[in-house]
Structure 1
Amino acid sequence: MQTTGWEEEFREYVMARGPALLRAARQLTGHPLDAEDLLQSALAKTYLAWGKIEDRGALDGYVRRAMVNINISQWRRRKLEEYPSDELPEVATADTTDTTVCGEVHELLDKALEELPERMRAAIVLRYYEDMTEPEIARTLGISVGTVKSTVSRAMAKLRGALGISS
């Protein structure tokens, strides 16, 4: 099967940027398998729009935006299936006796990130993992800069609390 020039260009892009995009997807979803599904869906959308994307330097932003949009759509649909309960589930505790201090901190941080609401997690990932500015995050999430600031602030407070760090 012969590929066209743009198909080869797309393949090269995925090979070069796939690992970094998968890390971003992992931080958005909090689960490796969900991250793979999310990235695959975002790359499928990118593939369909490849010919329309003129600025190849903006590809990462396009894929990240697609991942955020898909993830938000998924958790909005899931919200309809969740119902409040009178009893709280038991909270699992991690056994960190055999890990190094650095590994322990990363594991605790990953768990704390997973417990954040979706928008807070997305804002933290985009700000501190993707190093985006507040206006870039606002555009990506479709919210105001003020909402980004307050969301990041509240998320950081929750993370500090979960990690036992005083501010």
Structure 2
Amino acid sequence: MVAATADERVTAGSAADFAEFARASLPGLLRYGHALTGNPHDAADLVQAVLEKVGARWASLLRKDPDPLAYARRAMANTHISRWRRRRRENLVADLPDSPAHAAADRLEHEPLWRALRELPPRQRAVVVLRFYEGLSEAEIAHTLGIARGTVKSQNSKAMAALRARAEEWS
């Protein structure tokens, strides 16, 4: 039996630490992803993509950032915004695709508040979700998203004004 080298022990410990982090953080990250993307399927894809990135950088991440959950949330917001920008570009096709016969509908899809939240720009949605769904403070949101605290305040203000305007339409 060959003894493990110091590097192998650190890598094994890091892998175990990451696995524990992923297991403990997964429910919250899925909720956050669902609120960001608007549906559970895209949320699961987003969380998977971000956990792959975080896992690949786990050892160096722990040396640089004492809060890996904040890093993962920031990565989710950035990845979601990047995907949103890519999808936003018009893609013309000759024929319309067939619609899936048995697509599972999101139970919140037709809720007015949920629809209004999905219509917010990605950064405003991220701020609102972190503030009111995850219960983070302005400073924590700024750290999580890597933006200034004033930006958090302005994005939240704009988002709340848009949500209030939509709520007035429902009345």
* TMscore range, shorter length: 0.7 to 0.9
Distance 1:108 1:57, change over 3 A: farther
Partner SS, residue 131 of structure 1 = coil
Q: Is the contact between residue 81 and residue 122 of structure 2 (CA under 8 Å) also seen in structure 1?
A: yes
- 1:32 is aligned to 2:36: no
Cα distance in 2 for partners of 1:26, 1:20 equals 10
- Write the letter of the residue equivalent to 2:23: M
Deviates more, 1:5-14 or 1:128-137: 128-137
Cα distance in 2 for partners of 1:33, 1:153 equals 29
- Write the letter of the residue equivalent to 1:64: R
Q: What does residue 53 of structure 2 align with?
A: 45
Q: Is the contact between residue 68 and residue 140 of structure 1 (CA under 8 Å) also seen in structure 2?
A: no
Aligned residues: 144
- 1:149 is aligned to 2:156: no
- 1:13 is aligned to 2:17: no
Please tell me the root mean square deviation across aligned C-alpha atoms, in Å: 2.9
Considering only CA atoms, is the larger Rg found in Structure 1 or Structure 2?
Answer: 2
Q: Is the contact between residue 142 and residue 148 of structure 2 (CA under 8 Å) also seen in structure 1?
A: yes
Structure 2: which 5+ runs fail to align?
1-10, 93-106
Aligned positions of 1:13-162 closer than 5 A: 13-54=21-62, 58-81=67-90, 107-162=111-166
For residues 38-88 of structure 1, the C-alpha deviation after alignment (integer angstroms, 9 at most, x for no partner) is 0001100110111112368512111111101111111122233279xxxxx
Cα distance in 1 for partners of 2:160, 2:26 equals 28
TM-score by length of 2: 0.71
TM-score by length of 1: 0.72
For residues 109-139 of structure 1, the C-alpha deviation after alignment (integer angstroms, 9 at most, x for no partner) is 2222112121211111122222333344334
Percent same amino acid at aligned positions? 48
Cα distance in 1 for partners of 2:61, 2:147 equals 23
Cα distance in 2 for partners of 1:139, 1:20 equals 17
Q: Is the contact between residue 74 and residue 146 of structure 2 (CA under 8 Å) also seen in structure 1?
A: no
